[in-house]
Amino acid sequence: MPYEQAVDFKIADGVIIRYSRSGRPIARYAVVLLVLVDDVWEEVRLFDNHLDDHHMHRYTRSEGKQPPETFHPGPVNAAIAAAIAHPKANAEAIIESWRSLPSTSTPRRPTPASSC
């Protein structure tokens, strides 16, 4: 199922949080922390409810998306709010941790949808 809506929130120069969702009520969502590196948007952290579980994926620069970790035990709306608030409040530390890992030779290239 493709996402019906995507919105980008700029939190700093070269740093955005992308919120995507589909369904009414919301059936599926994703919140991604993205950082601009050499004109390429790189995924740093992902929060979603794939397989009906609210979880988080860390990304490494060499291995990409890591296995899911349980993120939030509550309802969808509360999980989405927490998934947006966490990287917004901790972006600097999350990005610094991500940058400290070795980089990959093949960057991923997500394209920002819109800016708010």
> Has residue 38 been placed in a domain?
yes
> Has residue 94 been placed in a domain?
yes
* Number of structural domains the chain divides into: 1
> Has residue 26 been placed in a domain?
yes
Cβ atoms of 26 and 77 closer than 8 Å: yes
pLDDT in tens, 11-49: 999 999 999 999 988 889 999 999 999 999 999 999 999
> Has residue 113 been placed in a domain?
no
> Has residue 53 been placed in a domain?
yes
- Residue 43 buriedness (CB in 10 A; 0-12 / 13-18 / 19+): buried
**pTM attached to this predicted model:** 0.84
For the chain, how far is it from start to end, CA to CA, in angstroms? 25
pLDDT at 58: 96
Structural domain span for residue 26:
5-99
SS (H, E, C) 63-76: CEECCCEECCCCCH
